[in-house]
Amino acid sequence: MAIKTFKGGIHPPERKAATTGKVIERIAEPKQVVIPINQHFGAPNKALVQVGDTVKKGQKIADGAAPGPMTVPVHASIAGVVKKIEPRTQSNNLDGPCAIIEANGTDERDFMPPLDAFSCTKEEALTRIREAGLVGMGGAGFPVHVKLNPPPNKPIDIVIANGAECEPYLTIDEATMIEFPHLVVEGLAIVMKIVGVSRGVIGLENNKVRALGALEKAIAEHNHGMDISVQLLKTKYPQGGEKMLITAITGKEVPSGGLPMDVGVVVQNVGTLKAIAEAFIEGKPLIERGFTVTGGACKTPKDIIAPIGTVLAEIPDSEVNIDETRVVKTIFGGPMMGVAVPHMNIPIQKNTSGIVLMTAEEYGRDTDEEGPCIRCGRCIRACACRLSPVIMNNALNAGELEQAAKIGLLDCIECGACTYVCPAHIQLVQRFRVGKQLLRNKRASQPKANA
Amino acid sequence: MILASSPHFSSPVTSRRLMANVLIALAPVTLFGIYLYGFPALLTIVVSVAAALASDAGFRLLIGQKPRIDDLSAVVTGLLLALVLPPSTPLWMTALGAIFAIVVAKEFFGGLGANVFNPALIGRAFLIMSFPAAITTWHKPVGFSAPLTDAVTTATPLNIIKLGGTMTDVGKSFIASGVATSTDYNSVLQTLFIGTRAGCIGESSILLILLGGLFLLVTKTMDWRAPISMIVTAFIASWALGMDPVFGTLAGGLIFGAVFMATDYVTAPLTARGKLIFGFGAGLITVLIRKWGGYPEGTSYGILIMNAATPFLNRLIQKKYGYVAPKKGAA
């Protein structure tokens, strides 16, 4: 099989060996969960339960505060009693309303009835996906039912399953493809049925070639008569970025300011596909997920499945043992795009793909001080979007927001490759995030000249 | 715990490491220069590096900034300057050139990363303009065996050709220096490639310069575009103007300039297309100066002139991913 890829990108150390090849462990149900009311990209939710309510596992506890497509409900991940609804620190470092549920020792469930995706209508299927609380589990948390319902003028011709997992340290996607290949393929087939295409491709980096056999066997058994194949991709960061994945597999480029559907593509993470399959086959809403817990300060690196809302600090040492004296960074997500959190009282969310407990040696820097730019151009070669980070940074430092936008500020996917390679430790992507926000604020406050 | 925003770790390749790579790449030509020209070369190198370091630290202290000599950039500048000077340059001139390179060409513009012109080449150009006789006095490649007197001076191969000489005359000068036994064309080229000839300390051995260049390519310290474009352009232009292109490539400082000066991060363009045009311009100007200019060699001016064009060449950014051409008629 020809190995495909995109231009640019970087090769950070993979550091996946600690968890590669281990069986995913399901941790014991915690005594208490902290479930953020808002776990999707879109309009805010409101709580549907009150303090004192008894909830069943899988019961909806929050849904859109106002009607609209960009909301996704949230479900209780354990059976128990709602103790509090109060702001807590979430994995994005912001305080947000969370429902704190204490287990009552029962396993009472409130799942939906199974639904056959291949005989129900598209509307029924999309409703099921929304009601199951499905969001993109790779990190962005975008509502799945919105992604699978493109407007009629955007015909889709391929669905791509994203199993690239280009973030260093993380192995949960690979483990999912090896242990649950049938659910991944089933989920992909369901998505293909919903968007009405016959071609599906599972893309994975060639350091995950171990998953190939399992996937191909599952494809043979679960293809529902559709054309599903596996495409190996070069192991290179950010191969799993939606745009890079699309370009590697289809050769097309998502137009600037556009979405994958503009080139007829829908992309879903393999973990999300597994959850989609479970929502139809078992009627199970998104109340648990697999993720990698690793890093040099984790004495028990492994892939685990835990209920949404499980608090990192409350996972017993017998299951996840952390050497707190050695942790210098606790990262929710991967080291390239994840969020460093201030403490370990943070709940697992629908988009938590991993937790990396980094030691000083792994962090590797003796100084965070920015040196002068020596104009080596490494950031330009690293950029997968063919931007010129150094030039954008100069424009932003000069306060030239529109100039920065002209040369591509808003096209930046914030993968962080430029900052990673910068020999002077200049915080390029960090400035671009701030710059984007400033630009949006500025544009929002100005009436359009020729609207 | 550290609460910085992502990415949460970084490449081990730092600015200091890149500068160290350049120093490693320069080591063979530096050692060969010392072997070839003896004490004068050794002293020139030591004085140039020391003066560069001292002026870098001194100037920054004077203006109340933290000295940055540990980033090794001043060492690189000092060494590069020494390597493009004749071995017999008076030591006080060498020191003056190094101070000028660091203070005027680099720190006055804002220090590392902010200078427009290659500091080492500015140092050299300053010395040539100020002391034209001393900087065009060439030492015979006689190693440590000769005393430090004027008796060992000779002409560089490019000098001989500039003054109307032939390749045979170049061969004769090699025989007079005791580095060759034949005036045969191929033998002359071979001597030029190995580098046992009169010239600047570091520019003579094409073989060792290419070795250093290979190291920089393998370690991804430099990009191939500017040097290749410069050498190819100079080769074609020499040939088109009726000069011997092989001789023109091997004699003089073209290869040294292409590998170590046209690849200077700060003063060469950032973008791929910019680098190609930079090399093209530098190669062309080099040959034009050699053909019609007053100097036998034009490499340093070729690069310096293109340094001035770098900010404009940096506008040649590549088309971004997913670029959509603006619609005609849109405001």
Q: A340 — contact with chain B (CB < 8 Å)?
A: yes
The backbone torsions φ and ψ at residue A109, rounded to the nearest 5 degrees and listed phi first, read -115, 150
Instruction: State how far the Cα of B309 lies from the Cα of B225, in Å rounded to an integer.
Output: 16
Helix B119-130, helix B299-313: angle, nearest 10:
140
A335 CB within 8 Å of a chain B CB: yes
Residues of A in contact with B3 (CB under 8 A): 93, 340-342
CB of A353 closer than 8 Å to CB of A172? yes
Which residues lie closer than 8 Å to B263 by C-beta, 6 or more apart?
B216, B222, B223, B226, B227
Which residues of chain B make contact with A340, given a CB cutoff of 8 A? 1-6, 8
pLDDT at B178: 75
Residue B303 C-alpha, separation from nearest chain A C-alpha, in angstroms: 17
Rounded to 5 degrees, what angle do the CA atoms B267, B269, B236 make?
A: 100
CA–CA min distance A105, chain B (Å): 35
Contact A268, A140 (CB under 8 A): no
3-state secondary structure of A59: coil
CB contact set of A38 (below 8 Å; sequence gap of 6+)? A44, A45, A62, A74, A96, A97
Does the beta-carbon distance from A365 to B73 stay under 8 Å? no
User: Is A387 in CB contact (< 8 Å) with chain B?
Assistant: yes
> CB pairs under 8 A, 24+ apart, for B308-314?
B308/B116, B308/B117, B309/B277, B309/B278, B309/B281, B310/B116, B310/B267, B310/B268, B310/B269, B310/B274, B310/B278, B311/B116, B313/B269, B313/B271, B313/B273, B313/B274, B313/B277, B313/B278, B314/A391, B314/B269, B314/B270, B314/B271, B314/B274
Distance CA B233, CA B230 (A): 5
Residue A13 CB neighbour total at 10 angstroms: 13
- Which domains are present in chain A? 122-281 (3.40.50.11540), 378-445 (no CATH)
From the CB of residue B242, how many other CB atoms can be counted at a distance below 10 Å?
A: 8
Q: Which of B11, B56, B116, B266 to mutate to test the interface with A (most CBs of A within 10 A)?
A: B11
Taking CB atoms and an 8 Å cutoff, what residues of chain B touch A419?
Answer: 7, 10
- Predicted TM-score (pTM) of this structure: 0.91
A411/B322 Cβ within 8 A: yes
Structure tokens at A340: 């460093």
Distance from CA of B14 to the nearest CA of A (A): 4
Bridge partners for A229 per DSSP: A201
For B15, the closest of A247, A337, A424 (CB atoms) is: A424
- Is A330 within 8 Å of A169 (Cβ atoms)? no
> Out of A335, A411, A423, whose CB is closest to B14?
A423
Picking from A253, A328, A391, the nearest residue to B314 by CB comes out as A391
B296 upstream amide cis, omega within 30 of 0: no
Residues of B in contact with A15 (CB under 8 A): none
A112 HSE (CA, 13 A, CB side): 24
Q: DSSP letters along A155-222, please?
A: ---EEEEE----SSS--HHHHHHHH-HHHHHHHHHHHHHHHT-SEEEEEEEGGGGGGHHHHHHHHHHH
Residue of B nearest to A7 (CA): B321
Shortest distance between the Cα of A191 and any Cα of chain B, in A, equals 26
Task: Provide the Cα torsion B309, B315, B319, B324; round to 10°.
Answer: -140
CA distance A111 to A144: 19
pLDDT of residue A271: 96
Any idea of the CA torsion for A166, A204, A250, A404, to the nearest 10 degrees? 0
Size of interface A-B (CB pairs under 8 A): 157
Sheet holding A32-36, edge to edge: A32-36, A95-103, A80-89, A54-55
* Per-position pLDDT tens, chain B of length 331: 778 888 999 999 999 999 999 999 999 999 999 999 888 999 999 999 999 999 999 999 999 988 888 899 999 999 999 999 999 899 999 999 999 999 999 999 999 999 999 999 999 999 999 998 888 888 778 777 665 555 467 788 888 888 888 888 888 888 887 777 788 888 888 888 988 888 899 998 999 999 999 999 999 999 999 999 999 999 999 999 999 999 999 988 999 999 999 999 999 999 999 999 999 999 999 999 999 988 888 999 999 999 999 999 998 888 899 888 876 654 4
Query: Which A-chain residues 227-256 have CB contacts (< 8 A) with chain B?
Result: 243, 247, 253-256
CB contact under 8 A, B15 and A10: no
Mutate to test the interface with B, among A323, A388, A422 (most CBs of B within 10 A): A388
Closest-CA residue of B relative to A167 is: B7
Strand, helix or coil for residue A340: strand
Q: What is the C-alpha end-to-end distance of chain A, expressed in Å?
A: 50
Structural tokens at position B268: 């060469």
Residue B208 tokens read as 């060792």
Q: Where in B150-285 does DSSP place strands (E)?
A: 153-154
pLDDT in tens, A349-395: 999 999 999 999 998 877 778 999 999 999 999 999 999 999 999 99
Which token pair is A17?
Answer: 């060996």
Give how far A246 is from chain B: nearest CA, Å: 12
Residue A162 contacts residue A267 (beta carbons within 8 Å): yes
Taking each continuous run of H as one helix and of E as one strand, the counts in chain B are 14, 2
Q: What is the pLDDT of residue B139?
A: 78
Instruction: State which residue of chain B sits closest to A371, comparing Cα positions.
Output: B15
Chain A residue nearest residue B270, CA to CA: A377
Query: CB atoms < 10 A from the CB of A446, how many?
Result: 8
Query: What 8-state DSSP symbol labels residue A149?
Result: -
- In which residue ranges of chain A is pLDDT below 70? 447-451
- The predicted pLDDT at position B148 comes to 55
Q: Strand B138-139 and strand A339-341: pairing?
A: unpaired
Closest CA in chain A for residue B330: A450
